[in-house]
Amino acid sequence: MNKLVVLFLALTCVAVLLVGCDSQRGVSTPDVPPDVPDARHPSIMVDDTIYFCRWTEVYRDEINEDDILGKIESKVPLSQMPAENDQTNMRGILDAPYARYGSDIVVKKEGSWILFEKEDKR
């Protein structure tokens, strides 16, 4: 009888683990829903150059107010690439300031500076 209880508990644990692992399927980056087949990589256009989001946070003390170039002024759907300067296809950064960071750009999103790299670095 004890062996049956132990076997039942072991099988229950395995079943819970399998269901938990399966629920992770479809997880993607925050701005790329799995049900959007034509989604593009979150990006911005600054000075006629496309910069792609790297989801890397840059320390705030590395960004000076003098480095701020402007703000994101318009948004296109995630299924499109930005076609104008100060434009994005990413949620949550409309009106956000952006700054030069070496040869790249950082955008302030929810209090953090997020790195965007030039298209040719991909």
Query: Residue 87 has what pLDDT?
Result: 98
Provide the H-helix boundaries in 1-122: 2-22
Query: Residue 29 has what pLDDT?
Result: 47
On whether the CB atoms of residues 95 and 109 are closer than 8 A, the answer is no
Helix (H) or strand (E) holding 115: strand 112-118
Query: Residue 72 has what pLDDT?
Result: 97
pTM, entire model: 0.68
Tens of pLDDT along the chain (122 residues) come to: 677 655 566 656 555 544 444 333 333 345 545 555 678 899 999 999 999 999 999 987 888 888 899 999 999 999 999 999 999 999 999 999 999 999 999 999 998 999 999 977 65
On whether the CB atoms of residues 43 and 89 are closer than 8 A, the answer is yes
Query: Residue 60 has what pLDDT?
Result: 79
Q: Which residues contact 104 (CB under 8 A, 6 or more apart)?
A: 51, 115, 116, 117, 118, 121
